[in-house]
Amino acid sequence: MTETINAGTAGTWQLGDLTVNRMGYGAMRLAISGDGRLDRDQAIAVLRRAVELGVNHIDTAAFYFSPLRSANELISTALNPYPDDLVITTKVGPGRALDGSFLPEATPEQLRLQVEENIGQLGRDHLDVVNLRIGSTLDRGAGSLADRFGALAELRQEGLIRHLGISNVGPEHLAEAQAIAPVVCVQNQYGLTVRREDDDFVRLCADQKVAFVPFFAIASGAEDETVTAIARDHGVSPAQVRLAWTLHQGLNVLAIPGTGSVEHLEENIAAASLRLSEAELARLDGVNGHEPGRGE
């Protein structure tokens, strides 16, 4: 594996008219860490180091907060004034009360307030990309999203949003949304051993020039011995192999691993340089009995 540590080594993708490196960063853990006690200075250092290493795509949300801090506020503190090429993607739909409990999904009318909340917290006059998130973390959204996505499309026309995406969705939602306004990305839970039923969805998005952005791509629990063996062969961590596998699924796949550690951040971004052979990819596709069939 090359010693280069730069997010650009995995190549780029277009989110509408915005060019992003395929290796990005997810900010959720900065606010919602394991015990909620992540050091503030450390969080700011992680964000600044990410940008230094070429990350120009950061994923966040106003509902990423703990009693101690907010991901959006940390991003603004660390990076504002923002680099010209930095793309900040946020999500709306879910809401959280001050005690951290989740509220019912936002109505079309409430979505404007959520967009304005993100704009204010980030210190922007518009949002680069807004994903409409439906359903819950455990349950993929169901039913029509037309009224809510239509409300965001109106905010896009007003100039508050530059580009739109959808999250926690199926192919039917993409078709429904595309009939209302252009969709630049789909953000779903997806990984080597998680929700591989979306393999075909990744390819469908590629056909439509839509980015597919997995979250929790490296969460694994007990590690598979195949992943461990390939990691050992390359002298890298199993998490880096999982990230590299993710990026190999198609040029439209964008990685947004999150961490509160500068060391782990550097490891994650280094995975952008990791190239897996066809034989290794075939071995990985056999993990958990999955039938090979990559989207690249």
Give the active site residues.
64
- Whole-angstrom Cα Rg for the chain: 18
The Cα 57–Cα 18 span in angstroms is 10
Q: Which of 58, 75, 122, 31 is nearest to 256 (CA)?
A: 58
Residue the block writes with tokens 């999250």: 167
Q: What backbone torsions phi and psi does residue 23 show, to the nearest 5 degrees?
A: -95, 115
Let me know: does 28 contact 71? Beta carbons within 8 Å: yes
117-120: long-range contacts (C-beta < 8 A, 24 or more apart)?
117/62, 118/60, 118/61, 118/62, 118/72, 118/90, 118/92, 119/160
CA distances to 28, 118, 164, 177 from 126, rounded to whole Å, are 21, 9, 12, 21
Contacts (Cβ under 8 Å, ≥6 apart) of 162: 16, 18, 126, 127, 128, 129, 156
The Cα 19–Cα 86 span in angstroms is 9
Going by their DSSP bridges, the two strands 18-21 and 12-15 should be labelled as antiparallel
Q: What backbone torsions phi and psi does residue 214 show, to the nearest 5 degrees?
A: -75, 140
